[in-house]
Chain A
Amino acid sequence: MATEAPLAVARGVSGLSMFAAFVLKEAKHVLRDRRSLLILLGLPIVMMTLFGFALSNEVKNTNFVVLDRAPDASTLGLTGRISESNYFTFAGRVQSEAEINDRFRRGDARLAVVFPADFEHDLRHLGHAQIRLVADASDPNTASTVSNYAAAIVAQYQAELAEGSVGPGAIAVETRMLYNPQLKSSYMFVPGVMTLILMLLGAMMTSVSIVREKERGTMEVLLVSPMNPLILIIGKAVPYLVLCLIDVLIILLLSYGLLDLPGGANLPLLIAESLLFILTTLTLGLVISNLVQQQQTAMFVSLVGLLMPSLVFSGFMFPIENMPLPLRVISHLVPTRWFYLIASNVMIKHLGFAAVIQPTLILAGMTLVLLFIAWRTFKQRL
């Protein structure tokens, strides 16, 4: 047939321009869809700010009250010492145990320091005295943090009083928190938040955008066209890959600029690992889009089906070591677990590639398996 030759020639050249046309169209869609764009770029900013500042599990400026039946130099000194610290704010004196209860119930104090009447006397003459710390344990985590801080201040005060007179057998405990010396939680959240954001956006955005084409009927037209379905798949992934990388950059900028994450991490390694994880989430989105027919379903599956396990099994919120065996086994199948491990090792512990080879290989393996599943489930013929 006479028309054979020109068509065949044209085809080889046009693969690239088809791809260009597709990516261009996809990019226009992303840029025009202000709402999605807002989610894509706003989510990391909102989450970083929330986790970094508002949801910090650090305890600062906790109100405390003092029940002091016989104020004297020692009790006043210790009270002063506690109120000077960043962690506590002096919220007045109370006269009875009942009043402590009252203040706790009203919520305007979370800790009470109770001095016995003979505090100074015991301290001077017996060499030891007792004080009681009463904490509002309706929030157990805060209560234990708060009482630990107060106890530490008391111990320090005591050590100063006994300067030079530490007898044999006295053990001074010095605790050092490695990698996060000030126990600042704000940047501890960074690897976790990054993991969640990439998982959510990568999987949800790709799956929704592919399923949208199915729903609108444009998918049919694309499949009838001579365009290779591989172009469709890669063309869908490229814009979201770029957007996810922008998100990674936003997160890094906020971490170093705003949350004072200590520098020294291997950033090229971190970005390369993020790229790998983004590929994992995009392929996951692809698999979802092959299995569902409606945008709503795609969104639901990504949110409930991915976000929940990602949150629970990443080790970011709940320690995996404390889980029962079946859950620990399941956690191995969750990609976020491995990326969280990589991200926290690289960002917080400043480890190099050698330390994250194993999770990297696991993540790469998962991506290949998902890619295979995506390929097998892709229905070129509807």
Chain B
Amino acid sequence: MTEWVIEAENLTRRFGAFTAVDAINLKVAAGEIFGFLGANGAGKTTAMRIFCGLLEPSSGRATVAGFDAMTQSEQIKQRIGYMSQKFSLYGKLTVKQNIRFFAGIYGLSRREVKQKTGEIVERLGLTTAADTLVDELPLGWKQRISFAVATVHQPKVVFLDEPTGGVDPIVRRQFWDMIFEASSRGVTVFVTTHYMDEAEYCDRVSIMVDGAVAAMGKPAELCAEYGVASVEEVFVALARKATRHGD
């Protein structure tokens, strides 16, 4: 039987009169790479923040790793990793210090912190830059370090909010290699993106329009259903119907 790691049932979030997330339903299986697509302002980040326990849903239900997002956010926090849209390492700390800090606040023991730090630095090929301030590194490196930090405590799920903004295709591809590697270790990856070539890398995608899920399925299936060649064309066809406009 499939183990569902993320489930949303009629999940809704309103800000005053504005419904950012409108009764969405979705299920993500363990180890899956799930692409959470949608135009700016479609409600992706809001939905993701509910899953991470940063926002409370107005109605409906969300469970992550088997725990209720409304009432059991503490249990969820121990089992998820999160990489925010804003670049979120400490620029004034070195690469090593950042890894050690995040490993520390995720509750790893001192021995584990040390071991993990060495491991990550080596895996990312950062041995020479380990003592460099993060501010001095190129964006692509920062993103890969952020990802490594978000998975340092071996979470069940990792949430990535537009992790590859602003870098070139080669660097994005390197980032995705890290995602594939994590997925092969059984980590569920829930990722939002603007890049439609990245959508093709996902096991399944959902496309949000105006706060609701307009389409969901394997990239190939969606293309077949809409009679087009790429997820991008599906996206454009759906996004045209949108009445809400992003910032």
Contacts and interface: CB of A to CB of B under 8 A. Distances in A.
Contacts of A28: 92-93, 97
Contacts of B103: 21
Given A29-B93, A217-B86, A221-B88, A381 B54 contact: yes
B169 interface: no
Instruction: Output the residue of B78, B103, B109 with the most chain A CB within 10 A.
Output: B78
Interface stretch (A6-14, A102-110, A297-305): A6-14
A374 B85 CA distance: 28
A18 interface: yes
B9 to A, nearest CB: 20
Interface in B85-109: 85-93, 97, 100-109
A222 B105 contact: yes
Interface string A19-36: 011101100110011000
Given A28-B92, A226-B106, A227-B105, 17 more contacts: A1-B66, A11-B107, A14-B107, A14-B108, A18-B107, A21-B103, A21-B104, A22-B104, A25-B93, A32-B93, A221-B82, A224-B80, A225-B102, A226-B107, A227-B107, A382-B49, A382-B55
A29 B92 CA distance: 7
B40 interface: no
22 contacts: A21-B101, A21-B104, A22-B101, A25-B93, A28-B97, A32-B93, A33-B92, A217-B85, A218-B90, A221-B83, A221-B150, A222-B105, A224-B80, A225-B105, A226-B78, A226-B105, A226-B107, A227-B107, A381-B53, A381-B54, A382-B49, A382-B54
Q: Place the interface of chain A in its size category.
A: 20 to 34
B14 interface: no
Instruction: Output the residue of B90, B97, B106, B107 with the most chain A CB within 10 A.
Output: B107
A217 B84 contact: yes
Nearest to A220: B84
Interface string B173-184: 000000000000
A29 B103 CA distance: 17
Nearest to A10: B107
Contacts of A373: none
Contacts of A218: 88-90
A220 B92 contact: no
Contacts of A14: 107-109
Contacts of A223: 54
B55 A220 contact: no
Name A's interface SS: helix
Contact of B82 (A13, A18, A224): A224
Instruction: Output the residue of A1, A24, A28, A220 with the most chain B CB within 10 A.
Output: A220
Contacts of A138: none
Interface in A26-53: 28-29, 32-33
Interface in A198-255: 216-218, 220-227, 231
Interface string B42-83: 000000010011111000000000100000001001101011
B54 A224 contact: yes
A298 B52 CA distance: 28
Nearest 6 CB-CB pairings of A with B: A21-B104, A217-B86, A14-B107, A224-B82, A217-B88, A227-B105
B88 A216 contact: yes
Contacts of B150: 221
Contact of B84 (A18, A221, A381): A221
B61 to A, nearest CB: 17
Contacts of A175: none
A29 B90 contact: yes
A17 interface: yes
A1 B88 CA distance: 32
A22 B102 CA distance: 9
A178 to B, nearest CB: 51
B92 A32 contact: yes
Nearest to B82: A224
A190 B66 CA distance: 61
B101 A225 contact: no
A69 to B, nearest CB: 74
A25 B66 contact: no
Given A14-B109, A217-B85, A225-B106, A25 B101 contact: yes
Given A25-B97, A381-B54, A17 B107 contact: yes
